Amino acid sequence: GILSASAEVDVVVVGAGFAGLRALHTLRSQGRSVAVLEAGDGIGGVWHWNRYPGARCDIESYDYSYSFSPELEQEWRWTQRYARQPEILSYIEHVADRFDLRRDVHLRRTVTECVWDEERGRWDIRTEGGERWDARFVVWAVGNLSSTKQPTLPGAEDFRGRILHTATWPRDPVDLTGLRVGVIGTGSSGMQSIPILAREAEHVTVFQRTPNYSVPAVHHEISDVRDAEVKASYAERRRRIRQSPSGLGFKPRKESALEVPEAERVEAFEDAWNGAGFGFSLTFRDILVDLEANETAADFVREKIAGLVEDPETRELLTPRGYPFGAKRPVVDDGYFETFNRDDVTLVDIASDPLEGMTPTGLRTESGETHELDVLVFATGFDALTGSLLRPRVVGRDGVTLQEKWASGPVTHLGLGIHGFPNMFVVAGPGSPALLINVLVGIELHVDWIAEMLADMDRRGAREVEVEVAAEAQWVAHVNQRAAQTLYPLARSYYMGDEVPGKPRVFMMYAGGLRNYRKILEECAAEDYAGFAFTRSMSDA
């Protein structure tokens, strides 16, 4: 393409989801010029793309929202305990209008290259359309679940039906009336959409590789009384959540699951099952760290599943075994297991009989069995956490690319910065608690911390900031050590990089919890940004 002259800004933010928009708002209010480059044709990130039937957040609406503006908190009226995708997207649109964010968001700009210019101390950013941006800082806000993954099935090009992916679901309504629908994948996207697809379609066939643990969402509409109640003490609610281990309202008990009598333990699980949603894994303090304690939770869930599914063979196939509860992200579902009691829903176990390919009219497994389909839905997830960061060509000092730097897994200091890539930050990505906590809390923590660091750089007249190599090595070791204290490595999941064949198997996130992480960030800042090196401005040098 023809390269236009580059546009100069202080900061380029990549991505216009929750993280990118918060970065824009905060950095712009410091007087910086900011350009947000967004690949999609709308704002909202994950909530722009994931329009599949049943798409919802599994964290409560009041907590999965911005906390920077008390006025915004008071004005916005959530209608559901767990908001559906359209409601979250309209919230994001409202925020964009209310804070006049759109004028600095540039849609349909896929960043292809981002190269550090050593001499000028600036980033040279290029988009697919041939645009160039020249920025002092780059902030990656590309999301952890944004590079979609779709397995290649031989013969797919001959399939006469329609192929859809949950994460790129069309804007226009999809009419499934009278159609035979296949779904591959039983993560959150599959388990949220299957009950709804089953109600619409003629027949649904679910192709399951790994059964998942799930906890019921227990949805409800939010009454005016409840809304007023929350809004009367919103600041207190936010404060509590910021101090919590995972950014959820749910309070973990202090005991081990093993030190309370069985009746009390079951009662605690029962309570959590009937309303805690994602907080179920925090019912006792050691569910995610002690295998024996975990087994009590896993057993409880397995028994619940047994009570929900009528057919013994289907029940057995739907029952997760052989890996701990919560070691791969559990689902918060709404009627998933009961859906298999319908006679127009079939479960196919592709662990024992893997998919071989597609025919013009359906799917074939290795045993030669065929399944006739009009529509095939991929609910096969994402190249998580690192996928979208490694897609563009990011070139730091000495021509080293991020792909080279991260060849054996993501390496960061505090999840925020990377040695060799000065003046560059990542929001709520690998090396941070990211998806192990309420990501909205993680995003706001990061953006405020980065903004504070930039203000500090202004004060000291620093031109560049870069992670020190020793600090980075220490952080990676600490992240690994934290992960080793948990049960996460015992499952095959995107937490460990298992979701993409050939991806390095390392734990991707900081597992020490929000409270510890916040303390570490605060201490780093208080110790004059330990682990970060500043270069004086040219005039001072």
Name the closest residue to ligand NA7 (Cβ): 187
**For residues 110-129, which are near ligand NA7 according to CB under 6 A?**
none
Is residue 300 part of the contact set for ligand NA7 (CB under 6 A)? Answer: no
| Binder of ligand NA7 out of 210, 256, 359, 516 (CB under 6 A) | 210
Is residue 188 part of the contact set for ligand NA7 (CB under 6 A)? Answer: yes
Report whether 530 contacts 457 (CB < 8 A).
Answer: no
Nearer to ligand NA7, 330 or 531 (CB): 330
Nearer to ligand NA7, 320 or 420 (CB): 320
Is residue 145 part of the contact set for ligand NA7 (CB under 6 A)? Answer: yes
Which of 108-116, 182-190, 269-277, 398-406 is the region at the interface with ligand NA7 (rule: CB under 6 A)? 182-190
Helix/strand/coil (H, E, C) string of 413-467? Answer: ECCCEECCECCEEECCCCCCCHHHCCHHHHHHHHHHHHHHHHHHHHHHCEEEEEE
Burial degree of 392 (CB within 10 A; 0-12, 13-18, 19+): buried
Is residue 209 part of the contact set for ligand NA7 (CB under 6 A)? Answer: yes
Is residue 184 part of the contact set for ligand NA7 (CB under 6 A)? Answer: yes
d(CA 194, CA 188): 10
To the nearest whole angstrom, how small is the minimum distance from the Cβ of residue 413 to ligand NA7? 25
d(CA 21, CA 28): 10
Q: Angle 429-432-438 (CA atoms, 0-180°, nearest 5)?
A: 85
**Tokens of residue 354, six digits:** 């893997």
Q: CA quadruple 177, 42, 116, 520: dihedral positive or negative?
A: negative
Total residue count of the chain as it appears in this document: 541
Element (H, E) at 295: helix 291-308
| Binder of ligand NA7 out of 56, 329, 413, 419 (CB under 6 A) | 329
Which of 98-106, 173-181, 186-194, 240-248 is the region at the interface with ligand NA7 (rule: CB under 6 A)? 186-194
Binding mask 378-417 for ligand NA7 (x = CB under 6 A): -xxx------------------------------------
Is residue 186 part of the contact set for ligand NA7 (CB under 6 A)? Answer: yes
Nearer to ligand NA7, 149 or 463 (CB): 149
Binding mask 25-64 for ligand NA7 (x = CB under 6 A): ----------------------------------------
Residue 176 contacts by C-beta under 8 Å, 6 or more apart in sequence? 197, 200, 201, 202, 375
Report whether 57 contacts 65 (CB < 8 A).
Answer: no
Binding mask 146-165 for ligand NA7 (x = CB under 6 A): -----x--------------
To the nearest whole angstrom, how small is the minimum distance from the Cβ of residue 434 to ligand NA7? 10
To the nearest whole angstrom, how small is the minimum distance from the Cβ of residue 470 to ligand NA7? 33
Per the rule left: phi > 0, alpha: psi between -120 and 50, beta: everything else, 26 is: alpha
Is residue 185 part of the contact set for ligand NA7 (CB under 6 A)? Answer: yes
Site size toward ligand NA7 (CB under 6 A) is: 20
To the nearest whole angstrom, how small is the minimum distance from the Cβ of residue 350 to ligand NA7? 6
d(CA 504, CA 498): 8
Nearer to ligand NA7, 70 or 151 (CB): 151
d(CA 82, CA 102): 26
Q: CA quadruple 303, 304, 307, 309: dihedral positive or negative?
A: negative
Which of 181-189, 394-402, 465-473, 513-521 is the region at the interface with ligand NA7 (rule: CB under 6 A)? 181-189
Is residue 319 part of the contact set for ligand NA7 (CB under 6 A)? Answer: no
| Binder of ligand NA7 out of 189, 246, 283, 438 (CB under 6 A) | 189
Q: Give exposure, 269-280, as e/b (b: 16+ Cβ within 10 Å).
A: beebbeebbbbb
